[in-house]
Amino acid sequence: MLDATVLERIGIAIASTALALCIGLLIVAAAGHNPLLFANQLVIGSFGSERAVARTLTFSVLFVLAGIAVAIAFRAGVFNIGVQGQFIVGGFATVASIVSLAPYLPDGTVGGIVLMLVGTLAAVVAGGLYAALPGVLKAYGDANEIITTIMLNFIAIGFVGWLVAGRFSDPEATATRTERLPDNVGFPSVVFDDPNLSIVGIGATIAVVALIAVIMTRTSFGYDMVTSGHQESAATYSGVDAKRMIVSTMTLSGMVAGLTGAIFAIMIQGYFTDPSGIGNYGFDAIAVSLLAANNPVGVVPAGLLFGGLESAGSHIQINSDVPVQLIDGIVGLVVLFVAVPELFRMMAQRTGLGGDRE
């Protein structure tokens, strides 16, 4: 897939999604449910009302940002499977820093802005440092980053869960969670009348996509990142410290993952709960990045698709007797078909829809 053209990648993504949806509808029919009703519920649950659109955009913000974090590493030839852990560490760092600092700052808008800036910075730093660790182990210890990042996911879940249940727990809460963020901490809705979605979160997502796209495609730093990951000897020959660039790649990826956790904590939850019960945004982001061919701009429509499916799943669970697990099955099929792009190239060539490659 690395040598596919842009048009081929777009075609692969569209074909993967369409085929997965078609097979998903067949499975729904085989299970004794109405596939047309299921398809209708998918559309209504994703974009059928203002509330559905807001819910889709809320999930999409997280999927796009986490997908960007994965894409940074994958594009540079480094496999960061630890975005979930970096997301958790970043989100917790946001809540912990805000709750700890809030008593020392005045109430009001200015105090809230300062707290949010500090919390976001804490998330970016925490996520970046947590991702830098497997980067150092890979660069200087020749450790397999797939294994180390997966293990660090479990460490983040366990350690943050221990902190949430202990030192930072809210004694007045019935569930295991931290104290709520102060009332003056929160993003304004402005456009959408939804407590879990803010134009600030959408704007921050767009800004991160644009910034990473420029870094990866228009700067020498981005070029060195990709070269160091895929051709370490060539990078070294051209004067680039390949080992340092691997660490920088993982750090940048973790910083975006940490930012995702900050937006999740401030815009959506307003506190931090037991991380074992948080959605698998970091894991699903791997599929988002694959569907976008690890292209920072392509992550946007891929994230919207996954956000729509997630939103539809919530809607179907409430308004239909179709098992919501079928949504997860459709997502899995999308990933499966993206992972075998040569199948689609062969089909295109056999049917005369694709030209021969030079």
User: Alpha-carbon distance 78 to 138, whole Å?
Assistant: 9
| CA quadruple 104, 107, 110, 114: dihedral, nearest 10 | 40
Q: What is the pLDDT of residue 134?
A: 97
Question: Which tokens go with 96?
Answer: 């912990």
Distance of CA 5 to CAs 10, 12, 235, 357, Å?
9, 10, 24, 10
Q: Which residues of 49-65 are buried (b: 16+ CB within 10 A; e: fewer)?
A: eeebbbbbbbbbbbbbb
Cβ atoms of residues 84 and 281 within 8 Å:
yes
Tokens of 124: 């970016």
Nearest partner of 42 among 311, 329, 248, judged by Cα: 311
Contact 177, 274 (CB under 8 A): yes
Indicate the residue type of 188.
Answer: P
Per-residue pLDDT band for 357 (boundaries 50, 70, 90) equals very low
Q: Which residue has the higher pLDDT, 279 or 116?
A: 116
Task: Enumerate residues 6+ apart whose C-beta is below 8 A from 3.
Answer: none
Pairwise CA distance, residues 282 & 154, whole Å: 13
What is the C-alpha to C-alpha distance for residues 26 and 320, in angstroms, rounded to an integer?
17
pLDDT at 271 over 90: yes
Q: What is the Cα–Cα distance from 92 to 265, expressed in whole angstroms?
A: 8
Name the amino acid, one letter, at 126: A
Q: What is the pLDDT of residues 231-254, one digit of tens each?
A: 767 777 778 888 899 999 999 999
Tens of pLDDT, residue by residue over 209-222, are 999 999 999 999 99
Mean pLDDT of the chain: 88
How close are the terminal C-alpha atoms of the chain, in Å? Answer: 15
Among 21-30, 76-85, 248-257, name the one with the lowest average pLDDT.
21-30
Residue 178: helix, strand or coil by DSSP? strand
With a CB cutoff of 8 Å and minimum separation 6, the contacts of 131 are 80, 82, 86, 149, 250, 251, 253, 254, 255, 257
Domains located in the chain, CATH noted: 34-320 (1.10.3470)
User: Token pair for residue 44?
Assistant: 């209504």
Structure tokens at 29: 């029919």
- The Cα 121–Cα 127 span in angstroms is 10
Residue of 119 and 191 predicted with greater confidence: 119
